Amino acid sequence: MPKDRIRIRRIRPKTSLSVKLTAYFVVFGVIIGYSSFIFSTAYNGRTMLKSFRESISGQINFELFDLEDFNELQFADSVKKIVDTIDADNLPIHQVSAYIYANEEWKSYSFLENEIRSKTVDPEPDSPVLEALEKDIVFTGNFFFGQSDLSKVYFSIPVPRSHKLVISAALSRTGIFHLVQDQSTELLGILVILVGASFLLGKMFASSVTRPLRKLTDKAVRISEGGQNVNLYIKRRDEIGDLSRTLSRMNEDLDERLKAMEIMNKIDKAVLSSISRNDLLHRVISFVCDYIDESTAVMALRNEKASGFELTSAVTHKSAVNIKNPNIPDELLSANSLKEFKHAGVFSDDNNLTEVLMNQLKLPGDINRFYNVPLYLREAYLGSLFVIKENQKPFTEEQQETLQKLGDQVGVALQSVMAVEEVNSLQMGSIQALSRSIDAKSRWTAGHSERVADLSELLGQAIGMEEMELRRLYISALLHDIGKIGISENILDKPGRLTDEEFTIIKQHPELGYDISRNIPNYEDICDGIRYHHERWNGSGYPIGLQKMDIPLFGRIIAIADVFDAVSANRPYRGGMTLDGCIKIINKGKGIDFDKDLAEVFIDAVKSSNNYLNNSSGGFKL
């Protein structure tokens, strides 16, 4: 996991979700309790009315109806007596009246304290009187939510034959509430139990929701702080489980994308810092092995002249692979291979490249997955990056997408590096031409500058110089005698020893070379080698007389290489020394003419290198 992720700042809410959910449950419990009270009141009121209707119906049918001798006034008086028996304190019914249908007409009877008043009425078709005959009980007002404390109710009483009876009464809301208050203790207890249960359920529900959310938050914070292998998955079969699985997949996808971006960024940096194509390609395949676990990456560039591929670099997840035979001719590959190489994807079964690479690179025999990433430059096929998995896991879609993007970027990077190589090649060709023109001024110094450059590079490699610094050292050594352009050929090619005056003139060439090269931008250390390669460790050198560590590194290195080649080459007044003789000269000058440590490293490097004596002009050529 990359460590440069944005860190998540944990924000503590003023009121936690757990408290809110618990409060919601308590409020919900209170609402349920109050609603239960309302519905209980309504239910009790309706039950009371049904009981009243059944009671008065029974009494009327039992006591009053004599169908052979029916008298309306007697009937009404009997109804009044029954109504007067109602306990107003226990039953909130007031203003009772009756509607009697007899002899094909309706009459209403109002029961006053000491009299009964009657009148003939003609109910409308939608009147509550007629509606009560169909529904048994009819309310004419919104009893519980209306504006009045009284609500009118009509209920029918079944009577024999063709007679009809509808009783109307005014219900008192306050009275019903008084009836319910008799059960207040029980209702209060139920309400307390309901609120308590709501609180406990709220806490349990809130905990079941907030606990996994807190876990997700803690894990997200760990990821933002650079935590490795943090699993966001929470095993639940609900929306929180879905959320955790989604976040886990998103985190894995982000990891893949961040790794891909990191690789792309590394390649960009490698393009800027690499000085050669092979260096860039080696870095690229190293990045790929870091990206894909247990993998081997192989870079193979197309060589049309040789009709095959050239393996430039190979790296496993453990170490670099020694390429013993970098060439893969086309005849070793199956007929379908070249065509398949030009397209990204997993190799088919009829592609024998796996077997070829195993033989060429001595790869393990348990390779299971092989992915090809073609490299293109301006639509021209350059070669392929082969990614080989040593485990059973297939390449994921994200890995394949990243590798394809990587191939596109490597193609662009190769274009940049090849352009730089072209410029460097032109530059090096110009420098070599210049150094050869200098050496050509004297037949005795032919090839001297290139041999000094090779020897200087050998010493630079031995002390662990980076490739870029080695290149600059090589250029400095190639041009170390550029100042001799200003020296007469008569002096340079003189067959005998130089006079003091001639030697004084010769000693001017380091400064002349410095004056020629110092205006080249960013070449300060190159100029140091040109100017100071004749300085000596004890300060006896020229042109300035620097000593010990005051002499720049390039000057100290080229000084050793220059003397070694000079004594090994033939001169008009002597022959070139043997290898042992040259080494004795360097040993003799340790700590006097040369940096002792560098001289010892140089001698070891020369002894261990493959070298031979140039028969024409002398000098050891590496």
Task: Indicate whether 535 and 407 sit together in one domain.
Answer: no
Question: Based on the domain organization, do 136 and 91 belong to the same domain?
Answer: yes
**250 is a domain residue:** no
The 10 Å Cβ neighbour count of residue 360 is 22
403 and 464 share a domain? Answer: no
For 92-107, how does the pLDDT look when each residue is reduced to its tens digit (9 = 90+)? 667 788 888 877 888 8
Higher pLDDT, 88 or 34: 34
* pLDDT for res 239: 65
The CA-atom distances, in angstroms, between 407 and each of 248, 292, 371, 550 are 28, 15, 12, 48
pLDDT at 7 over 70: no
End-to-end CA distance of the chain, in Å? 47
Among 137, 165, 185, the domain boundary falls at 185
Query: Which pLDDT value is given to residue 364?
Result: 58
Same domain, 280 and 326: yes
What is the pLDDT of the chain when averaged over all its residues?
75
CATH label of the domain that carries residue 536: 1.10.3210.10
Note whether 53 and 179 are same-domain residues: yes
Is residue 493 a part of any domain in this protein?
A: yes
Q: Which CATH number goes with the domain that contains 130? A: 3.30.450.20
Looking at residue 587, its pLDDT comes to: 93
Residue 258 lies in a domain: no
Q: Report the pLDDT value the prediction gives residue 615, as an integer from 0 to 100.
A: 39
Question: What integer pLDDT is reported at residue 444 of this predicted model?
Answer: 56
Same domain assignment for residues 410 and 451: no
> What's the pLDDT at 616?
43
Radius of gyration of the chain from Cα atoms?
54
Q: Identify the pLDDT of residue 3.
A: 45
Q: What is the model's pLDDT at position 545?
A: 93
Strand 345-346: give its sheet, edge to edge. 327-329, 308-316, 295-303, 380-389, 369-377, 345-346
> Is 29's pLDDT higher than 60?
yes
Tens digits of per-residue pLDDT, 326-363? Answer: 777 877 777 777 777 788 877 655 556 666 766 666 66
Per-residue model confidence (pLDDT) at position 232: 62
pLDDT at residue number 617 = 46
Residue 505 has pLDDT above 70, yes or no: yes
Place of tokens 């250390």: 525
pLDDT of residue 67: 44
CB within 8 Å of 77: residues ≥ 6 apart = 116
Residue 220 domain flag = no
Any long-range contacts for 428-432 (C-beta under 8 Å, 24+ apart)? 428/475, 431/475, 431/478, 431/479, 432/478
Please report the DSSP string for 101-128 in residue order: EETTEEEEEEE-SS-EEEEEE---TTSH
- Place 540 in a pLDDT band, splitting at 50, 70 and 90: very high
Question: Is 242 a member of any domain?
Answer: no
Under the banding of pLDDT at 50, 70 and 90, the label for residue 613 is very low
Can you tell me the distance from the alpha carbon of 92 to that of 82, in angstroms, rounded to the nearest whole number? 16
Residue at which a domain ends, from 185, 220, 249: 185
Q: What does the pLDDT look like over 171-229, one tens digit per residue?
A: 766 655 555 555 566 666 776 777 777 777 767 766 666 666 667 666 666 666 665 56
Pair 225, 7: CB distance under 8 Å:
yes
pLDDT at 338: 72
| 163, 185, 207 - which closes a domain | 185
- For helices 184-224 and 239-273, give the axis angle rounded to 10 degrees: 10
Residues 220-244 have pLDDT tens digits of 666 666 655 666 656 666 666 666 6
Residue 7 lies in a domain: no
Alpha carbon 205 to chain centroid distance? 33
Q: Are residues 65 and 142 located together in one domain of the fold?
A: yes
Please tell me whether residues 407 and 450 are part of one structural domain.
no
Residues 505 and 589 in one domain: yes
The residue type of 115 is E
| Angle at the Cα of 327 from the Cα atoms of 324 and 328, rounded to 5 degrees | 120
Same domain, 388 and 456: no
- Is residue 64 over pLDDT 60? no
Say what the pLDDT of residue 95 is: 77
pLDDT bracket for residue 556 (50, 70, 90):
very high
The model's pLDDT over 448-487, given as tens digits with 9 standing for 90+, comes to 888 899 999 999 999 999 888 998 899 999 888 888 887 7
Structural domain range at position 287: 271-414
What is the spatial distance between Cα 566 and Cα 571, in angstroms, rounded to a whole number?
9
Which pLDDT does position 548 carry in this prediction? 94
Measure CA 338 to chain center.
Answer: 36
Residues 392, 494 within the same domain: no
Q: What is the pLDDT of residue 103?
A: 77
Residue 425 lies in a domain: no
Q: How many domains does the chain have?
A: 3
Per-residue confidence (pLDDT) for residue 282, from 0 to 100: 78
pLDDT digits (tens, 9 = 90+) for 429-442: 777 777 777 766 66
The two three-digit tokens of residue 9, written as one number: 């700042």
In a domain, 260, yes or no: no
Q: Is 70 exceeded by the pLDDT of residue 606?
A: yes
Q: How confident is the model at residue 420 (pLDDT cuts 50, 70, 90)?
A: confident
**Cβ burial 307-318 (10 Å sphere, 16+ → b, else e):** ebbebbbbbbbe
Sequence-ordered list of residues with C-beta below 8 angstroms from that of 497, at least 6 positions apart, any chain: 573
- Whole-prediction pTM: 0.50
Same domain? For 402 and 447 the reply is no
Cβ atoms of residues 512 and 488 within 8 Å: no
Measured in residues, the chain has a length of: 622
